[in-house]
Structure 1
Amino acid sequence: MTKKTSKYDKILNTFIQLLIEGGYQSATISKIAERAEVNPSTIFRNFTDKKGLLSAVVDRHLKDLSTIFDGVSMTGNIEDDLVILSKTYQEFQVDHQEIVLIGFQAALEMPEINKAVEEIPVLFKKILGDYFSDMKKQHKIRETIDVEAATMNLLWLNFGYFLSVIRFDHPNISTSATDFYDKQIRFFAKSLV
């Protein structure tokens, strides 16, 4: 890895951390430079400005998104497969939470962020819809199951859990990842067979 690549990644990762900690407005060039231990001119040279940094974050996010389900193997067991798909989705969301957080904060001013945030559930919906259709053809889920409704319900269940993880600490609305997969996802899966 070259020094330029190393500095580039260090700046980008620092920017992402500041986005998570305080949002877009508080992630100033001076804070990024200080924390990344670089001169502000290095940031401007690599990214032009804060919008350039944000664009690089979106590009990285979309690149990672294109491979989110690569290597995920389905077993044919509805419960296990939905846990695998949900874990993959949750891990990606947590690893890329800055996009979702900024999407909520600045969607109107930065439509490119809104587009990037939408890509996650759109892809997950396609994967789930294809999976449920295939399981229906194989008679592994009930014939009466509405694939679109099942897809949207699992999508909303996962997105709701992700939001509760990154936003809330209250014990009455929090649950561990293990409980989420074992109690919520498996419960949902059982309703399909």
Structure 2
Amino acid sequence: MISSLRGVVSHVGLTSAVIDVHGLGMLIQATPQTLATLRTGNEAFIHTAMIVREDSMTLYGFTDADQREVFEILLGVSGVGPRIALAVLAVHTPEAIRVAASSGDDKAFSKVSGIGPKGARRIVLELADKLVPHGTVENPAAPRWQEQVLAAMTGLGWSEKDATAAIEDTAAEYPDIAAAGNVGEILKLTLRRLGTDGARTASRRKAG
């Protein structure tokens, strides 16, 4: 895998650039912010991530390793491909993405072209335990995960009272998972406990 490039910039476009590495032109896809740091004829050092598919090999370029790390973590989210991950980094800094994911701010991801409300909620749920703001010490006993699960359930139509009770029952039945603060797993177990019929009832209650 190619993890970085150092060479002379031979071309800069709207969404990509070409870096000449000892006579070999390497095409990279990058955010506008990264491309803005490149100047034709100047030497550049770029961190890269290579995405290999059956019919292609694509390099994505970043100004620092932190951007690349967040990009690769975003690729682990269901339904998020390289283009969407790059689009997220075009709108938000890596630290802003960490803050949004850890605080359950799905609206931050809805601002990205190509990501709807459901997709934004899924990103928050799947990234909650994977991205932590720099300088933050994780505390497994902290109630943050409860707030995130509660927000997801009320967003699905449950009343806050019913959702809170169900979350507490799940935490009592699965103390190890609750202690780890695994948002996605706790949400799945809680929804399974309540059942789809109950979800429809809760939705009607909220609507009324």
TM-score between the two structures when normalised by the length of structure 2: 0.30
User: TM-score, normalized by length of structure 1?
Assistant: 0.32
Higher strand share: 2
Of the two, which has the highest radius of gyration?
Answer: 2
Higher helix share: 1
